[in-house]
Structure 1
Amino acid sequence: MMGSWIEHAILWHVYPLGFVGAEREARARDGVVHRLGHLTSWLDYAVDLGVSGLLLGPIFASSTHGYDTIDYFRVDPRLGDDADFDAFVSAARTRGLRIILDGVFNHVGSDYPAFQRALAGGPGSPEAHWFKLTWPAARSAGELPDYATFEGHRHLVALNHDDPGVADHVVAVMRHWLSRGVSGWRLDAAYAVPRAFWSKVLPRVRADFPEAYFVGEVIHGDYAGFVRETGIDAVTQYELWKAIWSSLNDGNLFELAWALKRHDAMLETFVPQTFIGNHDVTRIASQLHDERHLAHALVVLMTSGGTPSIYAGDEQRFHGIKEHRVGGDDAIRPAFPKKPADLALFGWPTYRLHQQLIGLRRRHPWLHRARSRVITINRSDLLLETSYGADRLWVVLNLADAGIVRTIETEADRLAGDIELSHKGGATDVSVPPHGWGILGRRNEARAADADMS
């Protein structure tokens, strides 16, 4: 089973092709361009942020955006070569950072060599069984078959997951890169792959790499059932992501409370991968109607159970809107400057907020499996107790234009947030300013934490 390292993991999610400013199409540039060093130069920034690993988007040779793979065993030449990858892994390891790769195993690009050979060789060709091809009944010379795609995109060719050769290939790819030093896999479009496929493939990989972590991209549905039937460690928690920004925008924290209740039920069987931004969605700073509530979103992420990730740039308050058109991902997948010092000044206060809350989470590793209990809730304010076993914190959110006072029935002190406290009779009154928030711990624990930070 996966290693205990994931219980302490906080991930920095990077889309490499965008990060390094690669060309939109691979054919626009001949030869290898050694750009992975650009990402390597940001590893100290990631360490200073407080993360313990990198969740990378596609790095394998592809025709365009990385999700149209043409060679699973070769680094995309727009990023570099094997030597660049090995240097990157070594640099990350030296800094204590683990790497999770993006495995696009539901489909391949239409330029994938095996697919082209299948088209040329006809229905009797060895690799024709790798794909879901429908050949014309009376096939004439040069007439091509119809084929299954990923969600109707003709340049994304669905694999036939019932074919043993496809399973063998995916196992070989996973083993290859795990042996090269990565620690796990994000399984792209895992929901589109038959569940039985994962249940056959993953045990074969785990036999050689028992500490490997596997998280499947699942947008909606029965998350717990998917984990149970596939053997995957976790899925992407889109339910919580949506509830966070939607409840903040609507000023309706009952939606968040309901989502946290469902989230707690998932934690009974698995630990979801949590986020407030990724490479496929509008950035959180653009998603929120009131940017004062960006801190509230981050507080919920960092105090809820799960394996949290921060999408690179969100920690600098980057903006970007996802659009459903050709090039509609460009705004959320921008190139990063040569070095962190070249970032705009306006983003650094958000970076420091991330440092503070990531640091708090790392000092409370039990938050990985924490449950959230509502103590007091109104439409625009919420007081939660977050706990696991004997450990607990309190989180208070206020979305209103007026301040509030809420009571915790024990003596607690501030761990983070702009709040004022008063203690009486063993209880704590918490004064929260308009659009404010706070995190509290038991009085002795909070004092010990302050001493550790001084």
Structure 2
Amino acid sequence: MPVHFRVRVSREGSPEAAAAAAEKGAVLCVCGASPALGAWDPKRSPKLTRSSDSLWEGALEESVAAPGAEYKYVVLNLSKNQYVWESKCQHVMPAAGTQVVIEQGFDSADAPTPREPAGPYPQDRPPAAPKEARGAVKQKLALKVDKQAVAGGHVVVCGEGPALGDWNVGRAFSMRKVQDGPQETWAVELTLVPGVQFKYVIVGGRQGTKWEDQRPNRIFEEGSVGSEGAFHIFDDGASAVAKKVQPANRQGQKTTPTAAPSQVAAAIQTAAGAPAEQTSVELPDWARSSVWYQVYPLGFFGCKLDNNHTEETTARLATFEHWCDYLVELGIGVVLFNPVFESDTHGYDTTDYYQIDRRLGGVDSFRAIVKMLQGRNIRVVLDGVFNHTGRSFFAFQDCLKNGLSSQYASWFYLRPGQSSMGDPFQYDSWEGHLNLPKLNHSSPEVRRYIFDVARYWLSEIGIDGWRLDVAHEIAPEFWREFHQECLAARKDMCLLGELMHGDYRMYVKPGVLHSGTNYQLSKALWSSLNDANYFELVHSIERCASMYQGMTLLEFLGNHDVTRLFSKLKVKQHFELAQAALLLGIGGMPCLYYGDEYGMEGHCTKEGGAGNDADVRRVPPKPDALDAASRKRFDAVAHLLSVRCGYASLSKGTTHVLGNTNEQMVLCRQHEGSEYALVIFNSASRATDSVLPGHVQPKSSLRVPEHLVFERVCCFADGERMLAPMQATLKSGKPIIAEGLRPNSVSVFISKT
């Protein structure tokens, strides 16, 4: 029997919700504890339909309504990334058949009196209320937090023990907002044993889940908080009394937080000698100082697209031995292998995380390649696809067999119904691709499985780090715990997140990810040449320098998903200019996609190439089989890399834009105030008498000493390497070169000591 909803969102009940609901694109969600109600994720929860200005209506089948499940109403507007939750009410679905029409108001008096909320739960039902422990006391907690930080979400108390969710934010105890304003007040009354550790967490807001990460754990103590002006302040950085914390054991009995930030009490050296939580703050120097080389193995080794999982293993990986000396000659310090695990087709639909794809070889052959590369001082990073799996993954296969009653149902986001592929349930997948079921990272079993996989390849096989596929689609708190698990396996490991959208600072920070892919700069490296518009590249450089100061991001011109650089360039003589901008000009960790170092061509599928991006994932010629033109371009890139390696200003220096026009640009790299490098570009097809016209004013606040004389160490013009020596000086912040600039040229000058 369906359950009908009639919900009024009015200014009397919640002015904020009424205003949000009136906006274009807003919907009203019934969001709750069961998977069918979204497991407290509004984006996955059922939606009601607006029937009048303030009334929203809809019906849910009894199986979806989940009798006894807790729920709230949420105004959701994805176009604005806006969430407005009920803050006063937490409802309970009626028992089966006892009530078929629910008439309520959003956070208003006509809603049933809310029971004490037990917080959002990722499982079908909230756990039974824990019995009061011996010595427990009742204590009111009150918190002051900026409205902007809450950003439409709500606050929970997360900590030790089942009452506070055992450090799982999905089972934490919800607070109530008791006072609105620029600074909100949230309160709750708890009965706990003194000494229990906890933190406040903001969930469901526009900024995602936000822990207190500037302070150690709070300690539950007897005494009044919330009366006579005594309040906790969110993330106030205050110290807390440390107590002995027992380390986690293999059976999963934990007293330390599993999703809390690295600055929690587990990181405090206690008087009892409890070990400090390990935190990797700095990007390892081997990653920061290296040039990376990306290989898409299934294409590189010419594997067929489909894997039937029955054919004999083919040891194609072993042939990578022929490329080791080539990579050393080029100047590569890290090889990044895209997926190598057993998969159904393209590698991103993983079926077995402990086996190398049979089309590539076995675990032993891969281990040999790792040792071979590391023996040549080349590190190895693997692509970890932990956001989703393939349909042949064992846990999803069990779900297909047993439906919603599968023991692995909680590993995915399953819902009643039938998928378009005829499966006995509906489910979430990556960007709607049903062959890529999305994993539920709030499941302890999923987290443990992924962490075990990560540690295995780091400790048993000896890889140096992980590239984390679509890292921006998984909460930072998951990566924080992932970081700690990896750090326990290898102290100098590196975690690189694939980051495309949003603010990279949410992910690249101490204890979470070391670095990320800088998609926000990549396009400008080549389109500024095609469009004769260095203003685009300068804007991107300055924007990233402002937003991501202190970060070292992975910079690239191409990868396995986009049209290759040489195919994109309208003027082929701009090849060396694009490579010099990447390798010498913009800083960060440069990464070459295999074949781009000599001008391999290919278009991605959406730009006219073959299906499955096969044209940008082709087999490369062997190192000794490059044609003359390709070898010439290879030598040019190898020379740029040798120059980079020879000067700290080019490999480690900060980047400053001295000035630019549409077709000229001057970058200055500075290292520790002692060495300066000038990287000067002219993308015009004509020579210029001056580096920058007189009307162009220096852009950077950097003041390079004008007594310095710069010696040219590298120059390419129209694809040819120029060997003649040349000097440059500075006047009023602009480089002065007697010969001017050649057409389609890049010149590198180093300050003389």
Q: Deviations over 1:393-417 (max 9, x none)?
A: 1011111122122279431010111
Q: Is the 8 A contact 1:133 1:146 kept in 2?
A: yes
Partner SS, residue 21 of structure 1: coil
> One-letter code of the match for 1:436?
S
**Matches of 1:370 and 1:275, distance apart in 2:** 18
Deviation, 1:220, is 2.4
- Please report how far the alpha carbon of residue 343 of structure 1 lies from its aligned counterpart in structure 2 after TM superposition: 2.5
Change (3 A) 1:193 1:359: same
Q: Look up the match of 2:737.
A: 429
Structure 1 residues 28 and 319, CA gap change in structure 2 (3 angstroms): farther
In structure 2, the partner of 1:415 is 713
Q: Which whole-Å CA distance do the structure 2 matches of 1:375 and 1:158 have between them?
A: 46
2:648 and 2:292 map into 1 onto residues whose CA distance is: 14
Task: Give SS of 1:117's match.
Answer: helix
1:442 maps onto 2:743 in alignment: no
Q: Which has the larger radius of gyration?
A: 2
- How far apart are residue 424 of structure 1 and its match? 7.2
Q: Which amino acid aligns with 1:395?
A: V
Asked if the contact 1:374–1:384 (Cα under 8 Å) also holds between the matched residues in 2, the reply is: yes
The equivalent position to 2:487 in structure 1, one of 206, 221, 239, is: 206
Ranked by relative contact order (alpha carbons within 8 Å, sequence separation 6 or more), the top structure is 1
Report deviation, 1:86.
1.7
AA at the equivalent of 1:319: E
Q: How much does 1:314 deviate?
A: 0.5
Tell me what 2:117 maps to.
none
Q: Could you tell me which of 680, 683, 687 is aligned with 1:396?
A: 680
SS at structure 1 position matched to 2:641: helix
Once structures 1 and 2 are overlaid, which stretch shifts more, 117-126 or 249-258?
117-126
Structure 1 residues 312, 108: closer, same or farther in 2, change over 3 A?
same
- 2-structure distance, mates of 1:19, 1:366: 34
- The one of 594, 597, 618 aligned to 1:315: 597
- CA offsets 1:325-381 (integer angstroms, 9 cap, x no match): 8724100000134x3112333201110111111111222345455332222311111
Within 5 Å, which residues of 2 pair with 1:292-441? 292-303=573-584, 304-324=586-606, 327-337=611-621, 339-365=622-648, 367-390=650-673, 391-404=675-688, 405-406=690-691, 409=706, 410-418=708-716, 421=726, 428-429=736-737, 431-441=740-750
Aligned sequence identity (%): 33
Deviation (angstroms), 1:423: 5.7
C-alpha deviation, 1:207, in angstroms: 2.5
Q: 1:389 to 1:289 in 2, by over 3 A?
A: same
User: Is 1:103 matched with 2:375?
Assistant: no
Whole-Å separation in 2 of the counterparts to 1:181 and 1:39: 17
Matched residue, 1:250 = 531
Distance (Å, rounded) in 2 between the aligned partners of 1:67 and 1:155: 10
Q: Which residue of 2 aligns with 1:159?
A: 439
In structure 1, distance between residues paired with 2:517 and 2:400: 35
Using the size of structure 2 for normalisation, the TM-score is 0.56
Secondary structure of 2:409's counterpart equals: helix
Structure 1 equivalent of residue 14 of structure 2: none
Alpha-carbon contact 1:400-1:435 (below 8 Å) kept: yes
**Contact map agreement 1:195 1:230 (CA 8 A) in 2:** no
Could you tell me which residue of structure 2 aligns to residue 449 of structure 1?
Answer: none
1:236-247 counterparts in 2 under 5 A?
A: 236-247=517-528
Contact 1:264 1:371 in 2 (8 A): no
- From the superposition, tell whether residues 132 and 28 of structure 1 become closer, same or farther in structure 2 (CA, over 3 Å): closer
Counterpart secondary structure, 1:126: coil
For structure 1, the residue ranges without an aligned partner over 5 or more in a row are 445-454
1:421–1:239 CA distance, 2 compared to 1 (3 A): same
Unmatched 5+ stretches in structure 2: 1-279, 693-703, 717-721
For 2:370, the equivalent position in structure 1 comes to: 89
Q: Pick closer, same or farther for the CA change 1:13–1:425 going to 2, 3 Å.
A: closer
Alignment of 1:185 onto 2:452: no
3-state secondary structure, aligned to 1:31 = coil
With normalisation by structure 1, the TM-score equals 0.91
- Please point out which of 235, 238, 244 is paired with 2:516: 235
Residue 8 of structure 1 and its aligned partner are, at CA, apart by 1.8
Distance 1:86 1:131 in 2: 31
Take 2:648 and 2:367, find their aligned partners in 1: how far apart are those partners?
30
